[in-house]
């Protein structure tokens, strides 16, 4: 169908505005706005005339009684000024624009496409997205990004507002925990569930310090984000230290206003806020994929465990566990200390006692390498026969863990 025939078909049906007219043949005049194409098409008598009239730059007319957009395009300037206001609030280096239009308008569009050949047409949504994107690029000096934008603006014509979706910031690093009694992630207070009460000193938190909390404070200050999420590559017990090369983590800032923070400064602020409780290293910008990678990684850990025995420990006992656990698969039922919150299952894990050292008559120290997910305190005590074999079983002694440190999170099997 040629452009003049399309115009006639569309204009016979009632009032139609220039952008709605031009939009139906937009691909025949690339780089020209639909309004201008429509204004030229309205005046043209033949196909070749259209380009000539475009050069004269006729003023496009937008009608509130257009049967196609139902006057929606007259609302576009107001929507754009709302959008520009919104862009002032956020820092971003690329963006995406989306549009929501009332259902009736998409139906109008589909209906007329059964009467004209629409292969050179675009939807009203696409027109608005494209033209708005261009405007935003000019105004902000940033670029449209379709794969993974920092920020997405939705022009919602159904509710006459701008919706904004902001991509989180992800910061990778490794942490060491140098003080016992600090959980990795924030826990809401069990009395008030986070709203704040006397028990928790109105913090809403079960513990005054967490690894996440220590890093979160400077993160929220610097990014003006709403909240943080902490993704660790596994976690150690609250009362275990995390030493050696530290544990990999990704710290996520949700709905950040500022995206480009100085990581050296952030590092410095964590240091000040932690008062020696934790140390972080290797901070760098990362992404969501890294979180998935961390969560799927099953890395070995090496531990140092200090064990207290009921009866005296002999050198022979220590040799025995070193032999017995040279490279041994153990079976562990979910420990009694956690089975109120985890399903009772049996897991198999490989463990290896690397070295042992007698501390005094009733105490010894062991260095143990274990697969991800092994329960070390239960490897020591046997947990009433729920972990087999255990140090206690092999030594025929009653044992408990006095102190536990993670000294290495291994990267791969051979490291």
Applying CB under 5 A, the residues found at the interface with Zn ion are 17, 20, 66, 68-69, 189, 191-192, 197, 199-200
- Ranges of H-type helices in 29-147: 34-43, 47-55, 76-87, 103-113, 124-140
Rg of the chain over Cα atoms, rounded to whole angstroms, equals: 33
Per annotation, catalytic residue among 18, 150, 237, 383 = 237
Lookup: tokens for 95: 């963006």
Task: Tell me whether residue 4 or residue 197 sits nearer to Zn ion (CB atom).
Answer: 197
Lookup: tokens for 11: 């204009």
Beta carbons within 8 Å of 24's beta carbon, 6+ residues apart: 6, 10, 112, 116, 118, 120, 121
Q: Which residues pair with 205 in a beta bridge?
A: 188
Provide, rounded to whole angstroms, the least separation between the CB of residue 21 and Zn ion. 8
Provide, rounded to whole angstroms, the least separation between the CB of residue 24 and Zn ion. 11
What backbone phi and psi angles, to 5 degrees, belong to 212? -60, -45
Q: How far apart are CA 136 and CA 258, in angstroms?
A: 19
Task: Tell me whether residue 192 or residue 407 sits nearer to Zn ion (CB atom).
Answer: 192
Q: Which residues pair with 177 in a beta bridge?
A: 242, 278
Task: Tell me whether residue 38 or residue 232 sits nearer to Zn ion (CB atom).
Answer: 38
Q: How far apart are CA 232 and CA 251, in angstroms?
A: 8
Task: Give yes or no: 413 in active site.
Answer: no
Task: Tell me whether residue 10 or residue 370 sits nearer to Zn ion (CB atom).
Answer: 10
Provide, rounded to whole angstroms, the least separation between the CB of residue 199 and Zn ion. 5
Provide, rounded to whole angstroms, the least separation between the CB of residue 412 and Zn ion. 42
Task: Tell me whether residue 187 or residue 306 sits nearer to Zn ion (CB atom).
Answer: 187
Lookup: tokens for 399: 């044992």
Provide, rounded to whole angstroms, the least separation between the CB of residue 154 and Zn ion. 21
**Catalytic annotation, residues:** 237
């Amino acid at each position: 169908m040629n452009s003049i025939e399309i115009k006639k078909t569309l204009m016979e049906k009632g009032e139609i505005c220039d952008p709605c007219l031009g939009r139906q043949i937009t691909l025949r005049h690339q780089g020209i706005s639909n309004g201008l194409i429509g204004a030229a098409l309205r005046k043209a008598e033949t196909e070749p005339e259209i380009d000539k009239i475009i050069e004269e730059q006729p003023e496009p007319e937008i009608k509130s009684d257009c049967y196609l957009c139902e006057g929606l395009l007259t609302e576009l300037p107001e929507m754009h000024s709302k959008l520009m206001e919104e862009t002032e609030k956020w820092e971003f280096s690329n963006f995406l624009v989306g549009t929501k239009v009332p259902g009736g308008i998409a139906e109008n569009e589909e209906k007329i496409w059964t009467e004209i050949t629409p292969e050179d047409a675009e939807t009203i949504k696409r027109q608005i997205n494209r033209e708005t994107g261009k405007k935003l690029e000019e105004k902000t000096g940033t670029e449209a990004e379709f794969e993974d934008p920092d920020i997405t603006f939705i022009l919602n014509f159904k509710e006459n507002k701008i919706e904004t979706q902001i991509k989180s910031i992800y910061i990778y690093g490794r942490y060491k925990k140098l003080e016992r009694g600090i959980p990795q992630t924030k826990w809401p207070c069990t009395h008030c569930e986070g709203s704040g009460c006397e028990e928790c000193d109105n913090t809403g938190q079960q513990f005054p310090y967490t690894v996440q909390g220590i890093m979160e404070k400077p993160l929220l200050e610097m990014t003006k984000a709403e909240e943080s999420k902490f993704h660790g590559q596994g976690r150690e017990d609250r009362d275990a230290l995390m030493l050696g090369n530290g544990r990999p983590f990704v710290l996520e800032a949700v709905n950040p206003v500022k995206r480009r923070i100085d990581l050296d400064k952030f590092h410095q602020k964590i240091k000040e806020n932690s008062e020696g409780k934790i140390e972080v290293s290797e901070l760098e910008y990362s992404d969501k994929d890294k979180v998935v990678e961390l969560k799927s990684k099953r890395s070995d850990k090496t531990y140092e465990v200090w064990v207290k025995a009921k009866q005296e420990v002999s050198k022979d006992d220590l040799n025995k566990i070193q032999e017995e656990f040279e490279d041994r698969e153990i079976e562990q039922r979910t420990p009694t200390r956690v089975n109120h919150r985890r399903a009772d299952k049996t897991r198999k894990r490989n463990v290896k006692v690397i070295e042992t050292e007698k501390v005094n008559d009733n105490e010894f120290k062991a260095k143990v390498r274990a697969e991800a997910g092994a329960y070390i305190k239960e490897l020591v005590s046997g947990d009433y026969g729920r972990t087999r074999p255990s140090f206690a079983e092999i030594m025929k002694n009653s044992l408990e863990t006095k102190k536990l440190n993670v000294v290495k999170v291994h990267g791969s099997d051979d490291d």
